[in-house]
Amino acid sequence: MTILDVKCILDVERYRKINVNAICADDVYPDPQAMAPESNTQFLERCVRLLTTVSFASRETGLVYARMELGRPTWIDPEALEEAMTDANTRAGILAVAPDALKGSYIFEAKDRQLSKSLESDRMHILGQWGCGTALIEEAWTISDKRDEVPSAGQ
């Protein structure tokens, strides 16, 4: 699994806290602390614990800045990680699964940093948008939409 947006993973836990049976608007959301990034890392922690490999990559570039294998960090790119952790959600998520991430005790390996651009589309499942791939997704939707059009009488 490659995570391009830690916030989306944390949102899974946040959405579980929404009171769908609320009678008034004030009862829909819990207190702000319950919605804070550091209070919503449980789903991410389960993913890291249960999946063999979890990589964290930049949504804009696809460069991997941290990799977890069998629930433990195997390598980190310190500079890229520092940049990624300027986002509060990413910081909370990384510190939840790799509390010592900023101590620099993991090996940095340059291989496998860039997500493969040659992955077959039927094997690549993306939720949301990823860098330049957005144009390809939009083009695919346009083609799909045209297939669904009903031909006019003159065609």
| Domain housing 29 | 2-147
Q: Answer yes or no: is 155 within a domain.
A: no
Q: Which two tokens stand for residue 42?
A: 């449980």
Strand partners, 73: 68
> Over its length of 155 residues, how does the chain's per-residue pLDDT go in tens digits?
889 999 999 999 999 999 999 999 999 999 999 999 999 999 999 999 999 999 998 888 888 889 999 999 988 888 889 999 999 999 999 999 999 887 766 656 555 555 544 334 445 555 555 555 444 444 444 343 444 444 444 44
Count of domains forming the chain: 1
C-alpha to C-alpha distance for 88 and 49, rounded to whole angstroms: 22
154, part of any domain: no
Supply the pLDDT for residue 132. Answer: 53
In a domain, 76, yes or no: yes
pTM for the full predicted model: 0.71
Burial annotation 21-46 (CB, 10 A radius, 16+ → b, else e) = eeeeeeeeeeeeeebebebbbebbee
CA 9/CA 143 separation, integer angstroms: 30
